[in-house]
């Protein structure tokens, strides 16, 4: 498995993984990715900005994906029942997903480790991420990757469950494998 910056030729596989993940979350009773977000245009824009990464197997099949964005994530401006641990520039991970048939194969962890490497390379050694409170798989993954629960945030969309648990991590060179 290798991780690459996605290009527009990857969009069909990325969209297929988005739809597969939406169905999995629905089956698990998680109100995340159940509406129009993330949209096809969102993925396309992430790719055009150079902020979307994919894990591929030796046959160029996408195994997992994520967006790693720099700059201010305005949904993180207000955090409830806690606070961010650092007031510093940060990267944000969004749209993390793995093919259902490959869950439990450490692909998500490898993507998260890749985000750590990007953070150090970009000299922004601080990452924030969020997930639905019922997404226990993501919560366990974040915790196992060194993320700390900081409180909760509200999404800006106007439908569905808007509450998301918020986590952060300070990336240090000794954390990298």
pLDDT digits (tens, 9 = 90+) for 13-52: 999 999 999 999 999 999 889 888 899 999 999 999 999 9
Q: Enter the pTM of the model.
A: 0.93
Report pLDDT digits (tens) over 63-77. Answer: 999 999 999 999 999
Q: Six-digit token pair at 93?
A: 């991970």
The closest of 115, 110, 4, 128 to 71, measured between CA atoms, is: 128
Q: Quote the mean pLDDT of the chain.
A: 93
Tokens encoding 20: 């597969």
Going by C-alpha positions, the residue among 59, 23, 19, 72 that lies closest to residue 43 is: 19
- Given a cut of 90, whether residue 172 has pLDDT beyond it is no
**pLDDT score, position 77:** 94
- Please tell me what DSSP assigns to residue 106: S
For residue 47, give every residue at least 6 positions away whose Cβ sits within 8 Å of its Cβ, in sequence order, or none.
6, 7, 8, 10, 11, 14
| Residue 146, helix vs strand vs coil | coil
Per-residue model confidence (pLDDT) at position 155:
83
First vs last Cα of the chain: how many Å apart? 16
List, for residues 120-171, the tens digit of each pLDDT value: 999 999 999 999 999 999 999 999 999 999 999 988 776 667 889 999 999 9
Domains of the chain: 2-175 (3.40.630.30)
């Amino acid at each position: 498995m290798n991780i690459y910056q996605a290009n527009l030729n990857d969009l069909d596989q990325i969209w297929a993984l988005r739809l597969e993940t939406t169905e999995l979350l629905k089956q698990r009773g998680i109100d995340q990715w159940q509406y129009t977000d993330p949209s096809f245009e969102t993925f396309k824009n992430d790719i055009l900005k150079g902020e979307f990464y994919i894990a591929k197997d030796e046959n160029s099949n996408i195994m997992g994906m994520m967006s790693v964005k720099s700059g201010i994530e305005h949904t993180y401006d207000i955090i409830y029942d806690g606070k961010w641990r650092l007031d510093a520039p940060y990267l944000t991970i969004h749209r993390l997903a793995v093919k259902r048939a490959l869950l439990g194969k450490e692909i998500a962890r490898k993507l998260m480790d890749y985000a750590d490497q990007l953070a150090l390379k970009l000299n922004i050694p601080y990452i924030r991420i969020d997930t639905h409170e019922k997404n226990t798989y993501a919560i366990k993954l974040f915790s196992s990757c060194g993320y700390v629960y900081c409180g909760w945030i509200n999404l800006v969309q106007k439908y569905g469950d808007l509450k998301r648990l918020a986590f952060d991590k300070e990336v240090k060179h000794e954390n990298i494998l």
